[in-house]
């Protein structure tokens, strides 16, 4: 009985040692040569595998970084400059700092601004809805409100505001990976410079219809009047196909365009003090700013205005 | 035993409530909006500008490519603008807006009613007339007819099938023209028979239209006795089953030949044309009259005045509806086309196209979708699918974006007939997801087979 047990143990041990030797020989013979730096780079990556950099995942990105001579064409939007600095340190390369980006929803067609003209009863998906028709409002270009962008976001940074029916981007969570930009069939979401202290100015409309038609469908639409372009001292605004666009690289955040916009289509975000155009804002019925959920930063100018008046009354 | 296609299909109530209404000519509206994208393929290029005077039947849009078609003015008048105007889905498309005046026909158009039965000998003459008069398939897809009648030289047709199935519920426009213009349809068939060089023409009509069957048989018999050009034309009654009017289904029902995946009817030697197209071919060739009007059924249980109207292309839908007494109060949805495959109308100001076959009003009760529940694996969708697909599986794959698996499961063969959606007891929007997936898979297949630059 004891002998059987001993022999079994001996036999298994010998077999194990033999197989280990075979495995060792095979492993050395067929070893895949890989740059050890790939592992090192991968370690400093965020590991979200979101594909925002344009590669299949973090490892593919790391491999590309190791193989290329410089880091000009590689950028991890999720990790941002910090991660890129670490990557550069590992590889001993230089890295240019990039301005942080954020996803911006360029539609202000809230339920109040843009009334529904028909009732959609199909599958709740922007892709399906866009393939069928122009959407349930008079605006062919605007947000369809089925939340494909919400589903596409891996970071939980986008949510639908039930009151406005529009998606809201949480700046803290947004990594600017661009998944929502790809998911939106109407191409409303754009990656823009986050701006100093998160301050930025953008045209919250993509309606290419002529002014009167656009205005009829949505009271907050850009009517392509060009007032903003004339006002802009930096030549940052262009009006093409009846819609204005602000080049965020040229924009110096002076907010003169915000003041002259007759429909309130130009939005300024995260500015601390009420803009000089305060009175005009108050008179505009449609100039509601998109509520930024979970945003720690300042109150919107309109609200602030009402607060100051409250104080006066007190 | 009457013929029908071999697999799948459903039996919706046919509800042909406007069948008894003779075709009535709708007065010309004050303004027409003629779309430049009325056919499959590249949209036509407008060749008129604001301020131009146009005559009825004059060319206002020229084709832009091999698969494209001429567009003609359906009225006499002054062009007010050429620009974007919303179509029935609310999508801006280039339209020519014309303010109408009393009709003055362009030169060379025969506007009399005399039946011309003599078939021209020259094939090219017939094809040229079909092309220059902008004839497109009126069975739904609006594919340019001249392209369909000229198959590539290595493929030969041996049978022409005329589609008079009209298997969609409610629609009666094909039925009415088969009764009122049966001879013209048969002449059109003989013209296409000459072009294709086939000896056999089958006109397939579903059994729920006995009057159309007898009228068409009568027309074929009387024309066949007058000239040998009309030999080999036969009228076949088909069993009633949806989607019999589908090209591949009709070929199966009549010839028992099966078109392969991603194949065309010409691969099995068949060409299918709608009866309304045949009528348009007659007008184009024998009368030199462009395709500027078509028969539109206006119907629905909630609509008080059932009608079949002869409508000029570009007439605003709102004008037609106002002419018949306005939108009924309890109507919840307006559909262009039949209830199975038609498109919901999001914009009642949109204008009719060459291929518009009906305006159908449905009530809330008839049209509202019920809440979606879980798939119970009953297999009704797979049983109903006339293409032998498994919609429940395709739906799952589509929702997960599994393109390779979708292609392996032949999503590209879907004909979007809606049988799966119709038969699903769990109210799953199968067609919504499958249609999108089909589009994406076809795009992938095309990009793979396209020559690399």
Rounded to a whole number, what is the distance in Å from the CA of A94 to chain B's nearest CA? 37
Predicted-complex ipTM score: 0.86
Tell me which residue in A122, A134, A138 faces B432 most closely, judged by beta carbons. A122
Tell me which residue in B89, B368, B433 faces A134 most closely, judged by beta carbons. B89
DSSP letters, chain A, are -HHHHHHHHHHHHHHHHHHHHHHHHHHHHTPPP--HHHHHHHHHS------TTSSSSHHHHHHHHHHSS-STT---TTTHHHHHHHHHHHHT--------EEEEE-----TTTS-B-S---S-S-HHHHHHH-S-SBS-SSS---S-HHHHH-TTS-EEEETTTTEEEE-TTT-----HHHHH-TT--EEEEE--GGG-EEEE-----S-HHHHHHH-TT------HHHHH-TT--EEEETTEEEE-TTT-----HHHHH-SS--EEEES-SSPPTTHHHHHH-TT-PPPP-TT--SPPPHHHHHHHHHHHHH-
pLDDT over threshold 80, residue B188: yes
| Arithmetic mean of pLDDT, B353-364 | 93
pLDDT number for residue B438: 95
- Whether residues B90 and A209 touch (CB distance < 8 A) is answered with no
Helices and strands, number each (H, E), in chain B: 14, 17
- Whether residues B432 and A125 touch (CB distance < 8 A) is answered with yes
Rounded to a whole number, what is the distance in Å from the CA of A264 to chain B's nearest CA? 25
> What are the pLDDT digits (tens) for B391-406?
999 999 999 989 999 9
| Arithmetic mean of pLDDT, B410-417 | 94
- Whether residues A209 and B432 touch (CB distance < 8 A) is answered with no
Whole-number average pLDDT of chain B: 93
pLDDT number for residue B292: 95
For A162-166, A301-305, B233-237, B322-326, which range has the lowest pLDDT when averaged over its residues? A301-305
pLDDT number for residue A314: 33
> What are the pLDDT digits (tens) for A50-69?
888 888 889 999 988 888 88
How far out from the chain centre does Cα A89 lie?
27
pLDDT over threshold 60, residue A285: no
| Arithmetic mean of pLDDT, B44-70 | 94
| C-beta neighbour count of B335 within 10 angstroms | 21
Q: Taking CB atoms and an 8 Å cutoff, what residues of chain B touch A122? A: 369, 429, 432
User: Does the CB of A24 have a partner CB in chain B at under 8 Å?
Assistant: no
Interface test with B, best of A125, A128, A134, A152 (most B CBs within 10 A): A134
Q: pTM to 2 decimals?
A: 0.82
pLDDT over threshold 80, residue B46: yes
Q: Taking CB atoms and an 8 Å cutoff, what residues of chain B touch A127? A: 436
Interface of B with A in 232-271 (CB under 8 A): none
Pick the closest to residue A88 from A47, A175, A79, A53 (CA basis).
Answer: A79
pLDDT over threshold 80, residue B63: yes
User: Does the CB of A314 have a partner CB in chain B at under 8 Å?
Assistant: no
Confidence of residue A288 (pLDDT cuts 50, 70, 90): very low
> What are the pLDDT digits (tens) for B173-183?
999 999 999 99
Interface test with A, best of B337, B346, B363, B370 (most A CBs within 10 A): B346
> What are the pLDDT digits (tens) for B157-166?
999 999 999 9
Q: What is the token pair recorded at B186?
A: 């048969």
**Closest CA in chain A for residue B429:** A123
User: Does the CB of A37 have a partner CB in chain B at under 8 Å?
Assistant: no
| Arithmetic mean of pLDDT, B326-344 | 92
Tell me which residue in B89, B90, B433 faces A123 most closely, judged by beta carbons. B433
| C-beta neighbour count of A79 within 10 angstroms | 22
pLDDT over threshold 50, residue A281: no
Q: Which residues are A160's β-sheet partners?
A: A167
pLDDT number for residue A93: 84
Q: Taking CB atoms and an 8 Å cutoff, what residues of chain A touch B347? A: 134
- The arrangement of strands across the sheet holding B200-206 comes to B233-238, B200-206, B159-164, B270-274
Confidence of residue A312 (pLDDT cuts 50, 70, 90): very low
pLDDT number for residue A94: 82
Q: How many CA atoms lie within 13 A of B57 on its CB side?
A: 17
User: Does the CB of A140 have a partner CB in chain B at under 8 Å?
Assistant: yes
Q: Taking CB atoms and an 8 Å cutoff, what residues of chain B touch A146? A: none
pLDDT over threshold 60, residue B143: yes
pLDDT over threshold 80, residue A279: no
> What are the pLDDT digits (tens) for A172-197?
889 888 899 999 999 999 999 888 88
| C-beta neighbour count of A32 within 10 angstroms | 5
| Arithmetic mean of pLDDT, B321-348 | 92
pLDDT over threshold 90, residue A273: no
pLDDT number for residue A274: 62
Q: Taking CB atoms and an 8 Å cutoff, what residues of chain A touch B334? A: none
pLDDT over threshold 50, residue A311: no
Tell me which residue in A118, A123, A138 faces B432 most closely, judged by beta carbons. A123
Give burial (CB, 10 Å; 0-12/13-18/19+) of A298. Answer: middle
pLDDT over threshold 80, residue A282: no
| Arithmetic mean of pLDDT, A63-87 | 85
Whether residue A294 contacts residue A169, with contact meaning beta carbons closer than 8 Å, is answered with no
Spatial distance between the Cα atoms of B372 and B365, rounded to a whole number of angstroms = 16
Rounded to a whole number, what is the distance in Å from the CA of A199 to chain B's nearest CA? 35
Rounded to a whole number, what is the distance in Å from the CA of A226 to chain B's nearest CA? 21
Interface test with B, best of A51, A116, A117, A118 (most B CBs within 10 A): A118
pLDDT number for residue A69: 81
Tell me which residue in A121, A127, A140 faces B92 most closely, judged by beta carbons. A140
Tell me which residue in A121, A133, A138 faces B368 most closely, judged by beta carbons. A121
User: Does the CB of B429 have a partner CB in chain A at under 8 Å?
Assistant: yes
* A277 or A292, greater pLDDT: A277
pLDDT number for residue A306: 40
**Closest CA in chain A for residue B345:** A133
> What are the pLDDT digits (tens) for A230-247?
999 999 999 999 999 999
């Amino acid at each position: 009985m004891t002998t059987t047990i001993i022999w079994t143990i001996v036999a298994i041990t010998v077999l194990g040692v033999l197989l280990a030797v075979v495995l060792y020989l095979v492993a050395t013979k067929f070893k895949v040569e890989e740059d050890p730096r790939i592992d090192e780079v991968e370690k400093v990556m965020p590991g979200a595998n979101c594909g925002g950099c344009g590669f299949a995942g973090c490892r593919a990105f790391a491999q590309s970084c190791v193989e290329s001579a410089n880091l000009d064409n590689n950028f991890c939007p999720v990790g941002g400059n910090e991660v890129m600095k670490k990557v550069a340190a590992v590889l001993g390369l230089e890295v240019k700092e990039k301005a942080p980006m954020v996803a911006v929803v360029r539609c202000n067609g809230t339920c109040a601004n843009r009334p529904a003209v028909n009732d959609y009863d199909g599958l709740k998906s922007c892709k399906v809805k866009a393939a069928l028709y122009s959407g349930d409002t008079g605006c062919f270009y605007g947000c369809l409100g089925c939340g494909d962008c919400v589903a596409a976001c891996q970071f939980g940074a986008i949510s639908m505001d039930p009151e406005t029916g529009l998606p809201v981007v949480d700046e803290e969570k947004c990594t600017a990976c661009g998944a929502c930009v790809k998911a939106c069939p109407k191409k409303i979401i754009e990656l823009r410079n986050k701006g100093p202290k998160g301050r930025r100015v953008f045209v919250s409309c993509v309606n290419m219809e002529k002014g009167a038609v656009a205005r009829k469908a949505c009271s907050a639409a850009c009517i392509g009047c060009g007032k903003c372009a004339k006002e802009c001292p930096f030549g940052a605004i262009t009006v093409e196909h009846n819609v204005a666009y602000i080049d965020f690289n040229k924009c110096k955040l002076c907010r003169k365009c915000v003041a002259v916009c007759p429909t309130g289509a130009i939005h300024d975000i995260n500015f601390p003090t009420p803009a000089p155009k305060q009175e005009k804002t108050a008179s505009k019925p449609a100039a509601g700013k998109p509520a930024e959920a979970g945003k720690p930063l300042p109150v919107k100018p309109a609200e602030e205005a009402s607060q100051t008046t409250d104080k006066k009354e007190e | 035993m009457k013929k029908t296609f071999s697999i799948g299909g459903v039996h919706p109530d046919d509800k042909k409530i406007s069948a008894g209404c003779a075709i009535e000519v709708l007065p010309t509206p004050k303004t027409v909006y003629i779309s430049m994208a009325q056919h499959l393929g590249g949209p036509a290029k407008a060749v008129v500008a604001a301020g131009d005077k146009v005559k009825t039947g004059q060319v206002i849009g020229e084709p832009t490519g091999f698969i494209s078609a001429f567009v003609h003015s359906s009225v006499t008048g002054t062009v007010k603008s050429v620009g974007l105007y919303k179509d029935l889905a609310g999508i801006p498309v280039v339209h020519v807006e014309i303010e109408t005046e009393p009709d003055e026909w362009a030169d060379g158009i025969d506007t009399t009613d005399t039946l011309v039965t003599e078939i021209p000998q020259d094939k090219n003459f017939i094809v040229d007339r079909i092309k220059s008069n902008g004839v497109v398939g009126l069975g739904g897809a609006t594919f340019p007819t001249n392209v369909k009648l000229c198959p590539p030289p290595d493929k030969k047709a041996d049978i022409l099938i005329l589609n008079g199935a009209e298997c969609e519920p409610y629609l009666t426009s094909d039925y009415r023209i088969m009764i009122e213009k049966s001879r013209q349809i048969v002449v059109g068939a003989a013209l296409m028979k000459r072009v294709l060089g086939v000896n056999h023409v089958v006109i397939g009509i579903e059994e729920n239209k006995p009057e159309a069957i007898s009228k068409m048989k009568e027309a074929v018999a009387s024309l066949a006795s007058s000239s040998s050009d009309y030999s080999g034309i036969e009228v076949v009654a088909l069993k009633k089953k949806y989607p019999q009017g589908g090209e591949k289904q009709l070929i199966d029902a009549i010839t028992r030949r099966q078109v392969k995946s991603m194949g065309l009817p010409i691969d099995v030697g068949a060409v299918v044309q709608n009866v309304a197209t045949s009528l348009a071919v007659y007008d184009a060739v024998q009368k030199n009259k462009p395709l500027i009007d078509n028969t539109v059924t206006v119907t629905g249980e909630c609509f008080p005045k059932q009608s079949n109207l002869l409508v000029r292309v570009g007439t605003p839908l709102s004008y037609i509806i106002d002419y018949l007494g306005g939108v009924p109060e309890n109507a919840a949805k307006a559909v262009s086309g039949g209830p199975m495959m038609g498109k919901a109308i999001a914009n009642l100001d949109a204008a009719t196209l060459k291929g518009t076959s009906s305006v159908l009003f449905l009530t809330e009760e008839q049209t509202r979708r019920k809440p979606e529940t879980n798939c119970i694996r009953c297999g009704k969708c797979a049983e109903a699918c006339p293409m032998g697909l498994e919609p429940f599986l395709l739906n799952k794959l589509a929702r997960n974006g599994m393109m390779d698996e979708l292609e392996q499961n032949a999503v590209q063969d879907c004909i979007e007939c809606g049988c799966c959606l119709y038969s699903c007891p769990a109210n799953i929007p199968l067609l919504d997801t499958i249609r999108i997936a089909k589009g994406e898979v076809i795009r992938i297949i095309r990009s793979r087979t396209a020559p690399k630059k």
